[in-house]
């Protein structure tokens, strides 16, 4: 018995082995008439077992996940897999080619576009395939992000709270298996149209990440995420050797690494600039601050006699995100302060999805 998706020709999702292909995204513009934008996909299957959907390149300027998933596709043999890995290493291929958060093809944010439309523009088509075809096929989902060109995060897993006790327990267990220094938790359904929200609606456990940023790759973060990804896939039961390692206690939280620290972004977290000019960070990423501490300063470019403006922490917490480009405008987020929960995950916030 075969299983095909019309917009992913040549891939039989029921077949055992390695298959490489493309999502065919229809696009017609001034240069192209009835062309397709090919978004690469790999399917590695060893037979019966769970299905894990791995995504990177949702935003084109976030590179850690693209490297990790390209590596995984090249290094992994199907006979090492129990079940099936569906890997999309450059999901928003047009944005990846441009090295930008969103593509100039339609300037739409893929992580705000789900469930998308099969007859829509390129971003809506990709969103539709992910939401309507691939997530329902999966038992677990991971979407690998970082801060991109515009910002830098503490290296972290990133999860939506809830939406049910069962899903929240599955997410917190996955975070422990991935075991990077931080886990950022946000309210359920934080962003309309996100992949995390689509997975919640489908009842599929999912974690995302924010692995640094600044439009480049940190070797230290990449190495930590590389081992964490294999540990996570073992925890999810889709990698034979890694699963055995986890079962023996040699996996998830190794003695060499401190347990993940849970931090929470809230509506009070962002510190927005009320002045255009040059952003000077006054705190370091990961630094503990108290409410009222100086965290940023903005200097005017043209008004030479205008004093710089200071900005302060709205609450106690951890500096979780720092803007990277120095030029800012009124309304630009300079830093984000996250509530620090220590090594204990906050309770799930269970709401109807």
Where residue 349 falls among pLDDT bands split at 50, 70, 90? Answer: low
User: Which residue is it, tokens 């090249």?
Assistant: 74
**CA angle, residues 138, 144, 147, in degrees to nearest 5:** 155
Beta bridge partners of 243: none
Q: Does residue 262 surpass a pLDDT of 80?
A: yes
Confidence check: pLDDT of 251 > 80: no
Q: For residues 227 and 246, what is the distance between their CA atoms, to the nearest angstrom? A: 12
CA-wise closest residue to 280 among 331, 321, 323, 338: 323
Res 255 pLDDT > 60: no
Q: Distance between alpha carbon 75 and the CA centroid of its chain, in Å?
A: 22
Pseudo-torsion of CA 196, 200, 206, 208, nearest 10°?
20
Distance between CA atoms of 324 and 272, rounded to whole angstroms?
14
Is residue 182 within a helix (H) or strand (E), and if so which, with residue range?
strand 182-186
Q: How far does Cα 101 stand from its chain's mean position?
A: 13
| Residue 11 CB partners (closer than 8 Å, separation 6+) | 4, 5, 19, 21, 41, 43
What's the burial of 1, exposed, middle or buried (CB within 10 Å: 0-12/13-18/19+)? exposed
- Average pLDDT of the residues in 220-241: 95
Q: What is the pLDDT of residues 7-41, one digit of tens each?
A: 999 999 999 999 999 999 998 877 767 689 999 99
- Tell which wins on pLDDT, 345 or 190: 345
For the entire predicted model, the pTM comes to: 0.93
- pLDDT tens, residue by residue, 306-342: 999 999 999 999 999 999 999 999 999 999 999 999 9
Question: Between β-strands 288-289 and 182-186, what pairing exists: parallel, antiparallel or unpaired?
Answer: unpaired
Bridge-based pairing of strands 333-342 and 261-264 is antiparallel
Q: What is the pLDDT of residue 248?
A: 52
């Amino acid at each position: 018995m075969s299983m095909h998706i019309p917009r992913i020709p040549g891939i039989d999702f029921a077949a055992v082995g390695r298959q490489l292909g493309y999502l065919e995204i229809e696009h017609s513009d001034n240069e192209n008439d009835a062309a397709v934008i090919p978004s690469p996909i790999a399917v590695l299957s060893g037979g019966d077992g769970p299905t894990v959907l791995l995504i990177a390149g949702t935003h084109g300027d976030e590179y850690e996940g693209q490297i990790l998933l390209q590596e995984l596709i090249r290094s992994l043999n199907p006979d090492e897999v129990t079940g099936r890995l569906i890997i999309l290493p450059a999901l928003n291929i047009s944005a990846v080619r441009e090295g930008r958060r969103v593509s100039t093809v339609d300037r739409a944010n893929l992580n705000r576009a789900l469930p998308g439309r099969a007859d829509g523009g390129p971003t809506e088509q990709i969103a539709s395939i992910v939401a309507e075809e691939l997530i329902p096929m999966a038992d677990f989902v991971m979407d690998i992000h970082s801060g991109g060109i515009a910002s830098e995060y503490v290296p972290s897993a990133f999860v939506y709270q809830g939406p049910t006790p069962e899903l929240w327990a599955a997410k917190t267990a996955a975070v422990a298996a991935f075991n990077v220094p931080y886990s950022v938790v946000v309210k359920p359904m934080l962003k309309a149209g996100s992949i995390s929200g689509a997975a919640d609606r489908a009842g599929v456990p999912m974690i995302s990440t924010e692995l640094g940023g600044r439009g480049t790759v940190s070797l230290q973060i990449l190495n930590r995420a590389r081992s964490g990804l294999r540990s996570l896939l073992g925890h999810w039961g889709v990698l034979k050797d890694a699963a055995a390692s986890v079962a023996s206690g040699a996996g998830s939280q190794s003695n060499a690494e401190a347990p993940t620290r849970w931090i929470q972004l809230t509506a009070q977290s962002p510190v927005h600039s009320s002045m255009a000019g040059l952003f000077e960070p006054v705190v370091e990423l990961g630094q503990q601050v108290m409410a009222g501490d100086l965290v940023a300063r903005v200097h005017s470019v043209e008004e030479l006699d205008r004093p710089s403006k200071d900005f302060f922490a709205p609450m106690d917490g951890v500096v979780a995100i720092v803007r990277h480009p120095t030029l800012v405008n009124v309304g630009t987020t300079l830093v984000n302060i996250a509530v620090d929960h220590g090594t204990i995950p906050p309770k799930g916030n269970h709401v109807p999805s």
